[in-house]
């Protein structure tokens, strides 16, 4: 029988050029350890296509021409991302992907890991903060907007569409949800 591995929660946020991987590009990745957000990772990627949704690109604040000269090649970015995960996960631990509206972020990360490295160090599962909040508290789905969660849990941070800042913000929300769910004073 194998020993149960300790779960290490990693908050992940991304910015993209559109709604789906494969057609649109992953432009930036931000990650941090949920229990120690100062241990973090950030990179920006060179676009691999010219396809973009103007609204999505406007939200990110990125210029694709600038990223072509300053961003990392996708295979390099995913290798660096994987190295960071490996450096922060011990042999008896397993990384757990945590995100806000996780379906979107995980789909791009999964696609890029598989396309450029052949496997995803997070495996095929993830934890969605919105769903976690919905399941822990007596709220409607419309109450799972980040602004509503921030208001109820009195979060100090905010999101701003910078992948690193947003991953740190998400870590705070995740921790606050656990704290309130467990009956601790916020």
∠ at Cα 94 (126, 103), nearest 5°? Answer: 10
Respond yes or no: is residue 114 known to be catalytic. no
C-beta separation of 118 from 131 below 8 A = no
Helix (H, G, I), strand (E, B) or coil at 92: coil
CA dist 91 and 183 (Å) reads 32
The catalytic position among 72, 161, 162, 180 is 161
Q: Where do the H-state alpha helices sit in the chain? A: 54-60, 64-70, 74-88, 102-117, 129-136, 146-153, 163-181
Catalytically annotated residues: 161
């Amino acid at each position: 029988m194998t020993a149960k591995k300790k779960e290490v929660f990693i908050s992940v946020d991304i910015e993209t050029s559109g709604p789906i991987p494969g057609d649109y590009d992953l432009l930036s990745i931000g990650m941090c350890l949920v229990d120690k957000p100062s241990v973090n990772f950030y990179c920006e990627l060179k676009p691999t296509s010219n396809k973009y949704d103007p609204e999505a690109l406007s939200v990110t604040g990125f210029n694709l021409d600038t990223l072509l000269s300053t961003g990392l090649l996708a295979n390099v970015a995913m290798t660096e991302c994987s190295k960071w995960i490996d450096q922060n996960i011990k042999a008896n631990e397993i990384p757990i992907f945590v995100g806000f509206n996780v379906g979107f972020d995980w789909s791009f990360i999964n696609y890029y890991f598989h396309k450029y490295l052949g496997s995803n160090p997070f495996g095929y599962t993830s934890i969605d903060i919105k769903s976690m909040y919905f399941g822990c508290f007596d709220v409607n789905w419309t109450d799972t907007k980040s602004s509503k969660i921030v208001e109820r849990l009195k979060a100090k941070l905010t999101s701003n569409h910078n992948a690193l800042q947003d991953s740190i913000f998400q870590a705070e929300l995740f921790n606050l949800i656990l704290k309130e769910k467990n009956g601790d004073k916020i």
